[in-house]
Structure 1
Amino acid sequence: MTSSLQYGLTGPMFSSDAMRAVFSDHSCVQRMLDVEAALARAEGQHGVIPAAAVAPIVAACDAARIDLRSLAQAAASAGNLAIPLIKQLTAGVAQVDPEAAKYVHWGATSQDVIDTGLVLQLRDALQLIDTDSVSYTHLRAHETRH
């Protein structure tokens, strides 16, 4: 799960620290967990899952609680990150509330979590690009005046 933007020889020439953070392993996992938390909130609000299941699920959606090394190893055999991530998330919820653990990832597919997590990362990246573009435009305008 190492990105060439993080450790490649040319990565630092073409990417900022902020952009590397957006596409870091931690951020990738956190954004998928953000999807799971939003799913639980929405489903709880609309009665799809018990309201009591929402808080334990949301509380467990913290990438700092995920073992990234074992996630990477499990993803190799699972074929994607979502399957082993959801297993770790479910296990974490089960430690606190076994009943709530039954409702982790309720009604979603692994691909839903992967795709939506990536879209959240891309949104963050576009915000950085937009900010950098505005800064560059102001710099060019200043340069032109002087």
Structure 2
Amino acid sequence: MNYRIGIDVGGTNTDAVLLDNDKTVIARTKQSTTSDVITGIEQAIASLLKDSDIDKTTITEAMLGTTHCTNAIVERKGLNSVVHFRLGAPATLAIPPSLMFPTISVIIWLPIYLSLREDLSMTAGYSLLSTKRKYVDICGRLKAKSM
């Protein structure tokens, strides 16, 4: 007999079920969602295994559902700033940055668009080294500004 686990990580509780081949619930648990999320998942799985007394090697599927990513974006909590470098100027300058990004009013895109123009006649080695130095410099300046 093979089994599957379904886990739903919510803001307050992490629910989990163990199902058999016939989709019959063999065990279920509700654990507190932990701040690091993974600990709550581990506790839920341990509880299912303890309550069911099955061989864990017979678990062939696991499904995870969570709203953490969506909640973080909607609530704007726990998000880090992101810098997106587009390589390939001047060809990439024809399409404005973030053109196809969805417009979600709660997300504010930082107006930092960096394009490094490289002389295409340079040797590849020099061009790549020069580009790397520029990006390292830019990242250092952004880090200093806590972005």
TM range (shorter): under 0.3
Q: TM-score, normalised by structure 1?
A: 0.21
- The structure carrying a bigger helix percent of its residues is 1
Question: Structure with the greater relative contact order (CA < 8 A, sep ≥ 6): 1 or 2?
Answer: 1
- The structure carrying a bigger strand percent of its residues is 2
Q: TM-score, normalised by structure 2?
A: 0.21
Larger Rg: 2
